[in-house]
Amino acid sequence: MKFTDAILLNRVIKSVREGVFPPICLKCRKSYRIPNERYEEARALYANPNANLRDPIRFRRLMTAYLCSQCQSGFYAVESPLCPRCGIMFKSREGSDHLCGKCLKSARHFRKARAFAVYNEMFKDLIYCYKYRNKIQLEKPFSFILFSIFIRYWDARDIDIIAPVPLHWRRMYQRGFNQAFLMVRKWRTVAKTFQIDLTSVLIEREIIVRTQQTASQVGMSVKDRQANIKNAFAVKTPEKIKGKRILLIDDVLTTGSTVNECARILMNNGARYVDVLTLAQAIKSF
């Protein structure tokens, strides 16, 4: 870059910061101002892997460049007591982790599921922006947040393959990306900040593929969801997953029927175990 270009670029950055081109909130689409120190705090968080991002203040700092302060509010982290199997957070904030009623009763093909935040209005809106309004700027904070939760609940040496829950090719074509894969595709770089070695972990987009177009599950009952999802997936290369420890990634865990079906297919094809990590999780047991 030429010296004059660098000066020009600095001027542009400065004017953005000073509000000549204020950022637009991804959710409410209004412009807002960000004080300089907020930028600095967000940058400091990205450089400090030990910061607890489940702290609401820190989470808001991380979202500074994407959401206005009003739209940042309402964040709620998933915390113990939770179900050690499906990760659901109990409404009662007393006591220790214990299996939930559903996990005691029904078959779970995954070993454990964990999430970062409660899937409430705030997170619903945020994920909606990311998934349906193509706000892929959110890839950066989501990737970072998800990784911080990954190392909270897992030792990276206990996972061989990281794979997203797949979209059907038709939806992939319409949308142009698999939002779950975007959240992990740069994990090797993110891991370096955390001083974690991910070189032996395979991060792959197409471990599981959709075999049929399933109807959108929004508004369906648990039973309908299970029927809708049955046999919707296949393992692309079974030899690849034999004896492997797999971490499935998705944006949100609501009824769990999708990840459970993916886990079932993987286990049937010889995976050693399947775990699940999502950005958000519904608080209602599935």
Site residues (vs Zn ion, CB under 5 A): 25, 27-28, 68, 71, 83, 85-86, 100, 103
Q: Provide the minimum distance between the beta carbon of 159 and Zn ion in the complex, in angstroms, as a whole number.
A: 21
Which residues, other chains included, contact 43 with Cβ-Cβ below 8 Å and sequence gap of 6+? none
Closest to Zn ion by CB, 214 vs 255, is 255
Closest to Zn ion by CB, 125 vs 206, is 125
Q: Provide the minimum distance between the beta carbon of 49 and Zn ion in the complex, in angstroms, as a whole number.
A: 28
**Which pair of structure tokens corresponds to residue 269?**
């094809």
Place of tokens 């297919």: 265
Residue 157: phi and psi, rounded to 5, are -75, -10
SS3 251: strand
Which residues, other chains included, contact 284 with Cβ-Cβ below 8 Å and sequence gap of 6+? none
Q: Provide the minimum distance between the beta carbon of 28 and Zn ion in the complex, in angstroms, as a whole number.
A: 3
Taking Cα atoms as reference points, which of 285, 286, 280 lies closest to residue 91?
285
Specify the amino acid at residue 88: I
CA triple 101-266-102, angle to 5 deg: 5
Q: Provide the minimum distance between the beta carbon of 195 and Zn ion in the complex, in angstroms, as a whole number.
A: 32
Helix (H) or strand (E) holding 191: helix 187-193
Bridging pattern class, strands 233-235 and 208-210: antiparallel
CA triple 222-247-208, angle to 5 deg: 70
Closest to Zn ion by CB, 84 vs 270, is 84
Q: Provide the minimum distance between the beta carbon of 209 and Zn ion in the complex, in angstroms, as a whole number.
A: 28
Q: Provide the minimum distance between the beta carbon of 164 and Zn ion in the complex, in angstroms, as a whole number.
A: 22
Closest to Zn ion by CB, 81 vs 270, is 81
Residues 178, 159: Cα–Cα separation, whole Å: 21
**Which pair of structure tokens corresponds to residue 181?**
């894969």
Task: Give yes or no for a cis peptide into 81 (omega within 30° of 0).
Answer: yes
Q: Provide the minimum distance between the beta carbon of 121 and Zn ion in the complex, in angstroms, as a whole number.
A: 13
